[in-house]
Structure 1
Amino acid sequence: MAKNGAREGGTTGSGAARRTPAGAAVLREDKTAAIRAAVFEELAAVGFARMSIEGIARRAGVGKTAVYRRWRSKLHLVLDVVSAVAVAGLPSPDTGSLRGDVRLLLEVAARALRHPMASQIIPDLLAEAARSPELAEALRTALHESQQSMAAAMVERAVERGEIPAGVDGKLALDLLTGPLYWRLVVVRDDLPAGYLDALAQSVAAALGAE
């Protein structure tokens, strides 16, 4: 390792413009991506309680130091990764109609919840949250509040189009969108019959006041 700081797993640059600042470590993006992917694989394989930094590092093909350079504990690592996925999860649709927006969101959510890792990881994290107030608060933010602005914007556009009356609660819209799918795909673990998403989209739109 060079005295003035070396690249993580690499070499120092030759030019002054590319030289690493003294005492700093450059975090390689490929290693960060490998660690993030390993977190989901470990969660699905062993659950949060049995997951360890050692196991994550081994699965990612890096040393423990590479993980600790980025996150100070497995809790902070999991929260960061889950929060990032939640924020990037549901899109903010604008199809021109409330029913169209709801249908698109249901399709995206159903695809995500059908993924084997999601069906294993989400229930495990929610169970662990019952024992960890910090995890519970972080999951509430990641899995609910991060989607709230999307639901509020969808409702606001529907109000502006005159599809639904003013005053519809965005939280209610989000509950109606995600609740039935979570129950069916994650809790009951049942398949979605043909036409289910279309019928659910129609029911959600009607429940919010659309004719």
Structure 2
Amino acid sequence: MAKDGDGTESGSGPAAGTRRAPAGAAVLREDKTAAIRAAVFEELAAVGFARMSIEGIARRAGVGKTAVYRRWRSKLHLVLDVVAAVAAAGLPAPDTGSLRGDVRTVLEVAARALRHPMASQIIPDLLAEAARSPELAAALKTALHDSQQGVAAAVVARAVERGELPPDVDPQLALDLLTGPLYWRLLVVRDEVPAGYLDALAGSVTAALGAD
């Protein structure tokens, strides 16, 4: 029996030949690619980047190792691709009509993401690994900083247009104020977010930015 580009068996003979990819072409099934990407998150959360292996990812995804290696040449490149995909998905900037409303929405979305069991395990682990890998550090900067910087810039720009903020407000400062407290509380101290905390934090952030 012949096998397709992902190692699945296909028939032989003239009838089966009509279903076979052209010679030299690898058939990379999208469902297997999605399963592998999902397995990466699960494996990172379970064992961390250092102990993660292509074998473990393949086993978790229910595919052979060759199916992984046909797509990515190493676990680093696999993680880089997954991180880049997360960054590309992005987070749309809220437009509630007020700075406080926009800030509150960003905080709610960020808190929900950081409270996710996988995120709470994966993000600190990858940040630690990034200290030893410039490639991973650059990918994480894009995923965790650059994509969110666009959101902060949009929130600030709209607030300036509405006259809620002075035009010289630094979007980078806004980003630090929006993400720093939650990262500290949820991923460093690993404390809960009590009722009313996000409302209070939204008020503090808008005040710190100089909202009228």
In structure 2, the CA distance between the partners of 1:161 and 1:10, relative to structure 1 (3 Å rule), is farther
Conserved 8 A contact 1:83-1:143: no
Q: Determine the structure 1 residue equivalent to 2:38.
A: 37
Conserved 8 A contact 1:90-1:109: no
Runs of 4+ in 1 over 6 A off after TM superposition: none
Conserved 8 A contact 1:48-1:128: yes
Q: Determine the structure 2 residue equivalent to 1:151.
A: 152
In structure 2, the CA distance between the partners of 1:75 and 1:163, relative to structure 1 (3 Å rule), is same
Q: TM-score by structure 1 length?
A: 0.90
Q: Determine the structure 1 residue equivalent to 2:188.
A: 187
Length, aligned pairs only: 208
Q: Deviations over 1:42-99 (max 9, x none)?
A: 1111110111111100110001111111111111111111222234353311111111
Deviation for aligned residue 1:11:
5.2
Q: TM-score by structure 2 length?
A: 0.89
Q: Determine the structure 1 residue equivalent to 2:99.
A: 98
CA RMSD of aligned residues (A): 2.3
Q: Determine the structure 2 residue equivalent to 1:200.
A: 201
Q: Structure 1: which 5+ residue stretches go unaligned?
A: none
**Correspondence list, 1:49-128, <5 A:** 49-128=50-129
Deviation for aligned residue 1:208:
1.3
Deviation for aligned residue 1:185:
0.5
In structure 2, the CA distance between the partners of 1:124 and 1:74, relative to structure 1 (3 Å rule), is same
Q: Structure 2: which 5+ residue stretches go unaligned?
A: none
Which amino acid counterpart does residue 69 of structure 1 have in structure 2?
Answer: R
Identity %: 83
Which amino acid counterpart does residue 208 of structure 1 have in structure 2?
Answer: L
Conserved 8 A contact 1:163-1:210: yes
Deviation for aligned residue 1:115:
0.9
Which amino acid counterpart does residue 180 of structure 2 have in structure 1?
Answer: G
In structure 2, the CA distance between the partners of 1:166 and 1:25, relative to structure 1 (3 Å rule), is same
